[in-house]
Each structure stands twice: as structure tokens, then as C-alpha cells.
Amino acid sequence: MPLSSRSSGPRTWSSEPTPGWGRRPGAAGTAGPGTPGSTAWLIGISVILQQRLALAARVTLHHVVYFKQLLSGRQVATSNSTAGQMANFMYLVGDPQSRKALIVDPAWDVDSLVRIAREDGYEIAGALVTHYHPDHVGGDLFGLQVQGVATLLEQESVPLYVNKHEAEGLKIVTGVSDNDMRKVDDGDTLGVGDLTIRFMHTPGHTPGSQCFLVGDRLVAGDTLFVQGCGRVDLPGSDPDQMYYSLTQKLAKLPPETVLYPGHDYGMTETSTIADELKNNIYLRISSIEDWRRLMGRGP
């Protein structure tokens, strides 16, 4: 799967118009199929319609995404009470044409995540890491060993896409190596078949927290929740950076963007940027000074 630099920008779906479409058949200077109503004319129109339908089908397929939201304690890790309490969302994101998929934050029950993808006819091609906390990538969680990216690598030789500012933390928490990781930056894009995923660096919860834009879907990890946001009182957190990630990046996404958070902490499992701008206080703070006061860091 090619990882393109941010200088190349996101891929744009486009197609050339079918020659002669929209012109009067037989008009001067065109390759029209003959006199309107004739057999040749009807055959020509039929061919053009078939071309247009095939073109429309190809364009439509570009917008189809394999996308599954899976909740720990409910769809996966169903017998793990801690997983149920943590209420982590994990995601399968893939391209229906190539039948390749990525796991977002593989943790708790990696076997089930891989099995679900395979049952749906998809090959695991990598993992997307939102941040290095053990409930998202595995490791030691207050003395409990959580399955994660290391377990995935035992089963599948696939790359882990992690923000470059999060790579060292991921190595410490999970034991993976530099060779296992692909260090990405803000604005980089990843192609999976015809699917494009854009990386957004959203520090605050951790130095290298990142979100993923998949069409009109935002997979937000622990940066943005439904009517909430990630904690900023943990080692590596930065409240000021969280303010800018929320208000200067995520709040400026198209209002119809659908939010898919990293935990089931809200009234609903998903939301939209439009609804969050109305209902989420953390997206509505107008100044860094007000934000600091809200965080208990200002006068």
C-alpha cells in the first residue's frame, strides 16, 4: 500500500467525459452515429449509454468503503469485564475492490478482529494507531496485560501506521520495533486499493495522537468524543495543544463529517461535526484563556 507524502495531497476521483456525449448525433465536426431514429443511430446511442453506465459504476465504487465499528465487551472481547468497562471502539476500514482492510487500534481481542475481517472476505493489510495507550494498542494496563499490535504482528506481517511523534511511546508500551512501524505526519495519505485515508495530527491527549479521515468519516481516537474530549491530565498530555487540535482542526471539518470516537462515552455511538459544534462545549471555547480556565489552569 503506497504511503504518499503530504506534498502530493489527497487523491481526487475524476474521469474523462465520454466523447460525443451531450452533442447532437451527426452534428458537424462530431463522430455522431447517424441520422436520429435510424438503426445506426439507435445502436450508437445504446453503446454510449453502456459506456456511461459503466463509468458511473466505476465512480460509484470509488465511494464505497468497508467500515465496521466494533465495541469491546460487546462485539469483541465479550468475556473480558475490563474491556467492557473501558468501552473501546475499534474499527475495520477497507477497500471493497482490493479486499484489503486496516484495523484501527487493534486491542483486547485481536483474534476476533482478524476473524471478522476474514469472514467478511478481507485481508488485513496493516494497523492504524491513534495513540500509544495500552487500551488502544495493547501492553500493561495497571497490571493487566492487554492484547494489541504485538499480538497482531505475531499473526500478520503488516505495517503499523503511527504518527512520528508517537513512535517512541508505541515502542515502549508494546515492544514493537522501528521496522514494524511506518512513521507518518500530518497531512500524509495512505492508499488502500482505491481508498484514501488522510492522517491528521491532533496532539493534546498524547504528543502524537492522530485522527483518520476516510471520506466523510472521522475516526478520532481519544481526541474527540461524542460531547467530550480526551483527558489532558496524563503523562504526555498538553491541554493547550488539545485546544488547538479541537478548535482549529476538527471543528473546521465539513459539518456533515461523521464522528467515530475511540470510546463509547456519549449518548450515541457516533455523531457529526455539526452536532458536536452545537452540543460539545470543548469545540465551542472561543479563546485559549477561556480554555485554560475550563481546564483549571487559568485565573
Per-residue DSSP letters for 128-197?
A: E-S---HHHH-EEETTEEE--HHHHHHH----EEEETTTHHHHHHHH---GGGEEEE-TT-EEEETTEEE
Within a domain: residue 13?
Answer: no
Per-residue DSSP letters for 83-143?
A: HHHHTBEEEEEEETTTTEEEEES--S-HHHHHHHHHHTT-EEEEEE-S---HHHH-EEETT
Within a domain: residue 263?
Answer: yes
Q: What is the pLDDT of residue 265?
A: 97
In angstroms, the CA 280 to CA 249 distance is: 15
Residue-level pLDDT, tens digit, the chain, 299 residues: 444 433 444 333 222 233 332 323 333 333 344 555 666 656 655 655 665 554 444 333 345 899 999 999 999 999 999 999 999 999 999 999 999 999 999 999 999 999 999 999 999 999 999 999 999 999 999 999 999 999 999 999 999 999 999 999 999 999 999 999 999 999 999 999 999 999 999 999 999 999 999 999 999 999 999 999 999 999 999 999 999 999 999 999 999 999 999 999 999 999 999 999 999 999 999 999 999 999 987 66
Within a domain: residue 18?
Answer: no
Within a domain: residue 231?
Answer: yes
Q: What is the pLDDT of residue 47?
A: 56
Within a domain: residue 283?
Answer: yes
Q: What is the CATH number of the domain that holds 72?
A: 3.60.15.10
Q: What is the pLDDT of residue 296?
A: 87
Within a domain: residue 187?
Answer: yes
Within a domain: residue 154?
Answer: yes
**8 A C-beta contact, residue 222 and residue 230:** yes
Q: What is each CA distance from 144 to 132, 138, 141, 151, 256, in whole angstroms?
A: 16, 10, 5, 15, 39
Question: Can you give the residue range of the structural domain that contains 188?
Answer: 63-294
Within a domain: residue 210?
Answer: yes
How many domains does the chain divide into?
1
In angstroms, the CA 260 to CA 252 distance is: 16
Which three three-digit cell numbers place residue 258? 461523521
